[in-house]
């Protein structure tokens, strides 16, 4: 046993425990017994942004407490992650510093890993990976080709912002007040071919499965519902432009007879059949390339084209005018909808903008509607996955004049991204690199050109939860069919920020696609996470932290001043996961006092020598207090256990602090009764303090373990089994007469 220090020196305690963990490889992923399922706890995947922020600390403190708890309960735990290392923020940071993005990302990752270790997070650091590693992105390319072959990826035109002077497309983030972030030139919109991910085939299943996700918290479920954008209503089949049926939807099932127009999404396949007039076509082209994604969404200003066509509804006195507007997409997805001004405010606004509709309205509503059937629409839609950027996964496609877009054969993967390029923000570095672009067509061997767009990092994220479940040495050969995947997938719990809903939604889609294609056939439900906890962000002074506002709280400074355990405990204690955490030093000071208090109190009791064997009669006098201590401890333990099972760490920490109060209360009562603690009392109290140290360990692991050691636990046994109840030594139980 190391000699106890009565005053709490966080940095010494933490350095000692961290050295022991490293020595013992304490967080290595175990191999569960044959056929047993492991518990894979998935934290959020950090962007390689430079350094950890308080949101990360919140995320990993929750996940780490849960991981340590499950290990103590005897589960085989995998707690691992990888960096989301490709993407625009890294590229922009590298441009600013005039270094290759690969170099910037590596430096960031190393710094962030150091911070995580200093905070004592129990990740399996051997399983950490970067999405920008060749070994990693060759599987992003494999996934692209696999989804392409199965029809889940297609190419279509889309509208993007373009800067003439930088000769590059710009992301929304790079457009400030309509001007280029780099040169402040005015940007314009252009059409260019883009790769899309088809998610619509799985919207219905993603919706249907929500009711089975019992271990998902309410925020995570509500983000899934929001992204789906489900509308329930009816649809009626009307005659379309080519004699084919046109299913028209409305959520106002009881008001169909009052419909006075039909409005189509610009992406609806019927639009082109109707819009034959060159003037109308021109308007539609302008609408489609007119940046409607950036335009106002409200019905008064949303782009609207009257294509001049009408559709006959059997019940209506006049044919219904047909309009085209992206407002349909924003409400119901790429579909056709009835315009019912009497039942719908947005429709009322649209009707007021089109004279033809106003006239039709004046003729009154129709008679009995027949053929209406129940229907559902989802707002969620396919989205583009390619970007004209350097820092991303190269798309494994070769463009050949004769053969078109040809997939790179699997044996030729990866298509390697040159690592020594320093993008400047001007042009597209890949497109200007002959050694990258010029290639023979894999199909006909004629000179051809590589695709020079790269994949958006959202695409990498589709499977960023998979690699941690594969041991590093197996990743090159069998990322998607490694036997360990069956041990760890689906992940038992995702812990992530509440802004991760979009990622998670698309991960759920791709898991289902891979299930149906084959590799993930063993995940029958097609769900990557059987449990999910979303937490809100950490703010300061009631506002989002930003350099600009000067309110950024730096975790390094806090750890330096208070120690990692105090910071971890405070961030858990300060608010429940569903609440935005408005950071202030109050929780920090409270937790600092608490840890110092527990430390000094417990050390002193551990050190005092056991009293002499006592007179059974005197011992019996305080037996009821020892029984009460048992009851308090067991109740506290039961509450803390339940809180941990539900990842409600703020409640758990509160209950840990209460348990400490109870233990102090016990001593006060004994002293009041008999002047001092007898031997049985002291032994009962030490047992309760050891229990306290054990339930503290998931949240403040350094302090918890150091206290267990000070209390006589064997270092080899740490962190030890999660207790089921307070076990008193035989001499201190009951009346002490046995
Ligand atoms: Zn520019
Ligand atoms: Zn060819």
Residue 709 belongs to a domain: yes
Kindly report, residue by residue over 666-708, the tens digit of the pLDDT: 999 999 999 999 999 999 999 999 999 999 999 999 999 999 9
Both tokens of residue 362? 């004046």
Q: Within this chain, do residues 435 and 295 fall inside the same structural domain, yes or no?
A: no
- In the predicted structure, residue 410 carries a pLDDT above the cut 70: yes
User: Is residue 540, in this structure, part of any structural domain at all?
Assistant: no
Q: Answer yes or no: is 702 within a domain.
A: yes
Q: How far apart are CA 10 and CA 531, in angstroms?
A: 34
Q: Mean pLDDT over residues 462-479, rounded?
A: 96
More confident residue, 37 or 703: 703
Q: 3-state class of 269 per DSSP?
A: coil
The pair of three-digit structure tokens given for residue 235, joined into one six-digit string: 């649809």
Question: Residue 635 Cα, ligand 2 centroid: separation in angstroms?
Answer: 73
Rounded to whole angstroms, the Cα distance separating 563 from 290 reads 54
Do both 368 and 388 map to the same domain?
A: no
Ligand 2 centroid from CA 436, angstroms:
17
> Whole-structure pTM over 0.85, yes or no?
yes
Q: Report CA(174)–ligand 1 centroid distance (Å).
A: 9
Ligand 2 centroid to residue 56 C-alpha, Å: 48
Do 247 and 323 sit in the same domain of this protein?
A: yes
173-179-181-183 Cα dihedral, nearest 10 degrees: 160
Task: Please count the structural domains in the chain.
Answer: 3
> Minimum-distance ligand to the CA of 442?
2
Specify whether 178 is located in the same domain as 253.
no
Find the 386 Cα to ligand 1 centroid distance in Å: 20
Rounded to a whole number of angstroms, the distance between the first and last alpha carbons of the chain is 31
Average confidence (pLDDT) over 165-183: 82
Q: How far is the CA of 160 from the centre of ligand 1 (A)?
A: 14
Looking at residue 297, its pLDDT comes to 54
From 331, 361, 379, the end of a domain falls on 379
In a domain, 133, yes or no: no
194 and 313 co-located in one domain: no
Distances (CA, A) of 432 to 87, 141, 393: 19, 22, 17
pLDDT (0 to 100) of residue 4: 46
Q: Which residues are placed with Cβ below 5 angstroms of ligand 1, an ion?
A: 163, 165-166, 180, 182-183, 185
Q: Are 696 and 591 part of one and the same domain?
A: yes
What pLDDT does residue 199 have?
95
Residues 285 and 421 in one domain: no
Same domain? 643 vs 602: yes
Distance 303 CA to ligand 1 centre (A): 27
| Tokens of residue 200, six digits | 């619509």
C-beta of residue 315 within 8 angstroms of C-beta of residue 260: no
- Yes or no: say if 557 and 632 are a contact pair by the CB < 8 Å rule: no
Q: Are residues 616 and 725 in the same domain?
A: yes
Which ligand does the CA of 167 lie closest to? Answer: 1
pLDDT at 439 over 70: yes
Q: How confident is the model at residue 737 (pLDDT cuts 50, 70, 90)?
A: very low
Which of 379, 407, 436 marks a domain boundary?
A: 379
Ligand at shortest distance from the CA of 427: 1
pLDDT in tens, 343-360: 999 999 999 999 998 887
Inter-CA distances, 489 with 9, 230, 508, Å: 41, 28, 13
Q: Residues 118-156: pLDDT tens digits?
A: 999 999 999 999 999 999 999 999 999 999 999 999 998
Ligand 2 centroid distance, CA of 398 (Å) = 9
| Tokens (6 digits) for 634 | 């067991």
Closest ligand to C-alpha of residue 449 is 2
Domain shared by 609 and 717, yes or no: yes
Of the three residues 425, 457, 489, the one that is the final residue of a domain is: 457
Check whether 2 has a pLDDT greater than 80: no
**CA of 443, nearest ligand number:** 2
- Candidates 130, 148, 99; CA nearest to 451 is 148
Write the CATH number for 249: 3.90.740.10
Which has the closest alpha carbon to 274: 325, 221, 311?
Answer: 311
Q: Ligand 2: distance of its center to the CA of 383 in Å?
A: 28
Residue 186 β-bridge partners: 179
Domain that holds residue 342: 230-379
Question: For residue 514, how far is its CA from the centre of ligand 2 (angstroms)?
Answer: 29
Residues 592, 707, single domain; the answer is yes
Calculated CA dihedral for residues 634, 638, 640, 644, nearest 10 degrees: 150
Any domain includes 268: yes
Question: Is residue 17 situated within a structural domain?
Answer: no
pLDDT at 728 over 70: yes
Residue 463 resides in a domain? no
- Which distant-in-sequence residues (6+ apart) come within 8 Å of 402 by Cβ? 441, 444, 446
Calculate how far, in angstroms, residue 198's C-alpha sits from the geometric centre of ligand 2. Answer: 26
CB 372 within 8 A of CB 234: yes
pLDDT band at 735 (very low <50, low <70, confident <90, very high): very low
The reply to whether 294 and 402 lie within a common domain is no
Give the percent of the chain with pLDDT over 90. 75
Q: Using the 8-state DSSP alphabet, how is residue 489 labeled?
A: P
Nearest ligand to the CA atom of 400: 2
CA of 450 to the centre of ligand 2 (A): 12
Can you give the pLDDT at residue 6?
66
Q: How far apart are CA 619 and CA 680, in angstroms?
A: 7
């Amino acid at each position: 046993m190391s000699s106890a220090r009565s005053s709490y020196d966080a940095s010494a305690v933490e350095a000692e425990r961290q050295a022991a963990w490293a020595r013992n490889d304490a967080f290595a992923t175990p191999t569960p017994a044959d056929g047993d399922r492991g518990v894979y706890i998935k934290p959020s995947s950090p962007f390689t942004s430079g350094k950890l922020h308080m949101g990360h600390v919140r995320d990993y403190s929750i996940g780490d407490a849960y991981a340590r708890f499950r290990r103590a309960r005897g589960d085989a735990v995998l707690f691992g992650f990888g960096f989301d290392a490709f993407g625009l923020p890294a590229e922009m940071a590298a441009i600013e510093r005039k270094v290759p993005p690969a170099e910037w990302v590596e430096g960031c990752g190393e710094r962030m890993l150091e911070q995580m270790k200093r905070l004592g997070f129990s990740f399996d650091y051997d399983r950490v990976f970067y999405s920008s590693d060749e070994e990693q992105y060759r599987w992003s390319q494999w996934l692209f080709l696999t989804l392409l072959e199965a029809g889940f990826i297609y190419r279509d035109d889309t509208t993007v912002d373009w800067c003439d002077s930088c000769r590059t497309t710009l992301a929304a983030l790079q457009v400030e007040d309509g001007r280029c972030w780099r040169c402040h030139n005015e940007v314009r919109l252009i059409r260019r071919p883009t790769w899309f991910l088809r998610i619509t085939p799985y919207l219905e299943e993603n919706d249907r499965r929500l009711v089975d996700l019992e271990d998902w918290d309410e925020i995570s479920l509500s983000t899934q519902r929001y992204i789906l954008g489900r509308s329930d209503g009816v649809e009626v089949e009307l005659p379309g432009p080519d004699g084919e049926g046109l299913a028209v939807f409305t959520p106002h099932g009881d008001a169909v007879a009052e419909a006075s127009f039909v409005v189509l999404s610009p992406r609806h396949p019927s639009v082109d059949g109707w819009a034959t007039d060159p003037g109308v076509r021109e308007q539609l082209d302008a609408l489609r390339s007119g940046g409607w994604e950036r335009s106002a969404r409200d019905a008064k200003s949303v782009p609207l084209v009257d294509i001049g066509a009408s559709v006959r509804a059997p019940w209506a006195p006049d044919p219904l005018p047909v309009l085209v507007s992206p407002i349909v997409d924003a409400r119901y997805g790429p579909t056709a909808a009835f315009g019912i001004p009497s039942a719908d405010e947005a429709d009322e606004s649209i009707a007021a903008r089109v004279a033809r509709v106003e006239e039709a309205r004046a003729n009154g509503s129709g008679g009995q509607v027949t053929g209406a059937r129940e229907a559902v629409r989802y707002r969620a839609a396919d989205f583009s996955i390619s970007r004209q950027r350097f820092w991303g996964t190269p798309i494994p496609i070769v463009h050949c004049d004769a053969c078109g877009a040809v997939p790179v054969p699997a044996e030729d993967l990866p298509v390697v991204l040159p690592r020594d390029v320093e993008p400047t923000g001007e042009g597209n570095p890949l497109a200007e690199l002959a050694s990258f672009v010029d290639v023979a067509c894999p199909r006909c061997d004629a000179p051809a050109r590589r695709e020079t767009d790269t994949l958006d990092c959202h695409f990498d994220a589709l499977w960023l939860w998979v690699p941690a479940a594969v041991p590093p040495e197996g990743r090159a050969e069998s990322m998607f069919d490694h036997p360990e995947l069956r041990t760890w997938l689906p992940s038992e719990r995702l812990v992530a920020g509440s802004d991760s809903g979009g990622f998670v939604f698309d991960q759920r889609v791709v898991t289902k696609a891979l299930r149906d294609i084959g590799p993930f056939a063993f995940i029958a439900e097609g769900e990557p996470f059987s449990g999910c906890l979303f937490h809100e962000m950490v703010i300061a002074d009631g506002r989002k932290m930003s350099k600009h506002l000067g309110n950024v709280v730096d975790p390094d400074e806090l750890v330096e001043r208070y120690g990692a355990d105090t910071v971890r405990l405070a961030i858990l204690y300060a608010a429940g996961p569903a609440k935005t955490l408005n950071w202030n030093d109050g929780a920090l000071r409270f937790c600092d006092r608490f840890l110092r208090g527990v430390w000094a109190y417990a050390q002193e009791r551990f050190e005092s020598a056991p009293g002499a064997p006592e007179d059974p009669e005197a011992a019996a006098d305080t037996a009821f207090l020892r029984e009460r201590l048992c009851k308090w401890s067991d109740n506290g333990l039961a509450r803390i256990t339940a809180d941990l099972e539900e990842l409600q760490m703020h409640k758990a920490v509160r209950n840990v602090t209460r348990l400490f109060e109870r233990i102090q209360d016990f001593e006060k009562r004994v002293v009041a009764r008999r002047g001092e603690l007898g031997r049985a009392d002291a032994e009962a109290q030490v047992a309760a303090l050891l229990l306290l140290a054990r339930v503290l360990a998931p949240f403040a692991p350094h302090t918890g373990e150091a206290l267990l050691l000070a209390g006589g636990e064997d270092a080899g046994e740490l962190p030890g089994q999660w207790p089921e109840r307070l076990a008193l030594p035989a001499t201190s139980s009951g009346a002490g007469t046995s």
